[in-house]
Structure 1
Amino acid sequence: MTLTTGHGAVEPGPDQRWSTWPSVAKGQRGPDPRPAWVVTAAAALDTELGVLKTGKEADVHLLERAVPDDPGQRVLLAAKRYRDPEHRQFHRDGTYTDGRRSRRSRDQRAAEDRRSAWGRGVRATQWADAEFSALATLWDAGAPVPYPVQIDGTELLLEFVGTPDDDGTPVAAPRLAGCRPGPDLLADWFDQLRTAMGVLARLGWAHGDLSPYNVLADGARLVIIDLPQVVDLVANPAGAQLLHRDCRNLCAWFAARGLEVDADELFADVFAQAW
């Protein structure tokens, strides 16, 4: 709920703030051309609507960005907020970041210093930066990922993937792990994921942690999420191993639902596209 001053000016109410869009630099905004639904007005307010998901390294909140009294400028966003290293439950950084370097050598040295407050702060933002960069590149390449609206420190604002229910309440798309599709949709979903993994491979990447829990089913369309640990297939010595694990995770789920798939065959198809 917004508040009004005695002069009629709108002020943020509880669980609100002014839109952070005007305060972030151009390089911290999503790729052009941006979708028409992105609200860029400085007069917009960000309103907290609740928690969508809690995770090992970040929590995802539902956020409404809207211009008061202008129904045409209203959008729901997923606000992914990374925790600092001391409050994260995910501690396998080295497996994924091997071969990855910060663009600033000063930040790289800080990240490698586990004891300094500066180093902890840099590490807290590295995962958010990595995911934003990966999403922007993948969006440009046509991969089925949420549009990355902006990044501000450890907060990443993303396209909300979901639909309203009968009373208009927003409902996030379910994870693939909880879905029970028929045979035709099951086969189509597998083809979608194989194609998406090929897009990553042609960029030289593997998801690195791909499973039915990191894929959303938005109706008949699948959307891949959670990409902070995206792996360089060339620079990371474990790249091929992690890609093969992605293939095993997905194929096990599809096979358990009756689709004849082979993890080694999927791996060979995807890996070949990286060269």
Structure 2
Amino acid sequence: MPHPSWLVTSAAAFDTELGVVKTGKEADVHLIERAVPGERGLLLAAKRYRGLDNSDFHRSAQYQEGRRLRNTRDMRAMARGSSYGRGVASGRWAFAEFEALCRAFSAGVPVPYPVQVSATEILMEFIGDGRVAAPRLAQSKARGAELDDLFGQVFEIMRSFARAGVAHGDLSAYNLLVHDGRVVVIDLPQLVDIAANPGGLDFLHRDVVNVCAWFTRRGLPREPESFFAELVGELW
């Protein structure tokens, strides 16, 4: 995947941490400035997974059905829940999300550009103005017909995923950013292969129901079953 022109790739560049953008149950997002000394730099987001024993890692099995882990030692360690196994789990989530970002970006889905992955950290494009991260869709004050364009963008995101044979798996107004009127989807470690995962269609249906319910509560009625049927039609 070719690098975009805005990305600083010089070996002379330094990465400087500027603070925490967001904390979560399984990962924190840090703001990074990458710059060559004496030149103007750019901002990146570093998402760092923690190897903690928490509910999000416990429920990861349902998303990962259809995936395979070849290293049997790692599989045993994860099953036992040892500290090493928890580290393996967090690393798997980081690599899974990086691969999902690459797949989505290549398919034209609006996601942050994935820069690199190392152990439990993903470096990606920072979506925001200056050092302020773009707000989540859930923070939008728009109501009713004002949301029509945003819904259209969200549905096109789901359609693009469906055409690629996947579902986000945990889509909601909390992992959709709105930047300059453009919707960007984030948090993809659980991306579900609809054909390989026995519950793939259920995950797709849940995504549609969650999205339609949010817009309906905000005064833009959207009936999920017709949209779900349309997305299923994109699969075959």
Select which of 150, 171, 194 maps to 2:155: 194
The code of the aligned residue for 2:106 comes to D
Question: Deviation of residue 121 (structure 1)?
Answer: 2.8
Distance across 2 between alignment mates of 1:92 and 1:116? 16
Distance across 2 between alignment mates of 1:229 and 1:148? 16
1:92 corresponds to: 59
Distance across 2 between alignment mates of 1:118 and 1:154? 13
CA contact (8 A) 2:47 2:123 kept: yes
The code of the aligned residue for 1:140 comes to S
Does the alignment pair 1:83 with 2:50? yes
| Identity fraction in percent | 53
Question: Deviation of residue 122 (structure 1)?
Answer: 2.0
1:101 corresponds to: 68
Distance across 2 between alignment mates of 1:272 and 1:111? 40
Question: Deviation of residue 111 (structure 1)?
Answer: 5.7
Distance across 2 between alignment mates of 1:111 and 1:262? 44
1:38 corresponds to: 7
2:87 corresponds to: 121
Can you list the C-alpha shifts for 1:77-104, whole angstroms capped at 9, x where unaligned? 0100000043x441211111111113x4
Cα RMSD, aligned residues only? 1.7
2:118 corresponds to: 152
TM-score normalised to structure 2 length: 0.93
Does the alignment pair 1:62 with 2:23? no
Can you list the C-alpha shifts for 1:224-257, whole angstroms capped at 9, x where unaligned? 0000000111111111111111111111111122
- For structure 2, the residue ranges without an aligned partner over 5 or more in a row are none
Question: Deviation of residue 35 (structure 1)?
Answer: 1.0
Distance across 1 between alignment mates of 2:105 and 2:19? 26
Distance across 2 between alignment mates of 1:265 and 1:57? 34
Distance across 1 between alignment mates of 2:160 and 2:85? 33
- For structure 1, the residue ranges without an aligned partner over 5 or more in a row are 1-30, 165-169
Q: Secondary structure at the match of 2:80?
A: coil
2:164 corresponds to: 203
After TM superposition, list the pairs within 5 Å mapping 1:11-50 onto structure 2: 31-32=1-2, 34-50=3-19
CA contact (8 A) 1:150 1:158 kept: yes
CA gap 1:252/1:139 in 2 versus in 1, 3 angstroms: same
Question: Deviation of residue 123 (structure 1)?
Answer: 1.5
Q: Secondary structure at the match of 1:42?
A: coil
Distance across 2 between alignment mates of 1:210 and 1:75? 29
The code of the aligned residue for 1:163 comes to D
Q: Which moved more, 1:175-184 or 1:194-203?
A: 175-184
Question: Deviation of residue 120 (structure 1)?
Answer: 3.0
The code of the aligned residue for 2:31 comes to L
Question: Deviation of residue 41 (structure 1)?
Answer: 1.2
Q: Secondary structure at the match of 1:213?
A: coil
Instruction: Give the structure with higher Rg (CA).
Output: 1
Question: Deviation of residue 54 (structure 1)?
Answer: 0.7
Question: Deviation of residue 136 (structure 1)?
Answer: 0.4
Select which of 93, 96, 101 maps to 1:135: 101
Q: Secondary structure at the match of 1:132?
A: helix
Can you list the C-alpha shifts for 1:187-221, whole angstroms capped at 9, x where unaligned? 11111111111111111110000000000000210
Select which of 93, 114, 134 maps to 1:173: 134
Distance across 2 between alignment mates of 1:144 and 1:185? 21
Can you list the C-alpha shifts for 1:165-206, whole angstroms capped at 9, x where unaligned? xxxxx2110000010226555111111111111111111110
TM-score normalised to structure 1 length: 0.80
1:263 corresponds to: 224
Question: Deviation of residue 261 (structure 1)?
Answer: 1.0
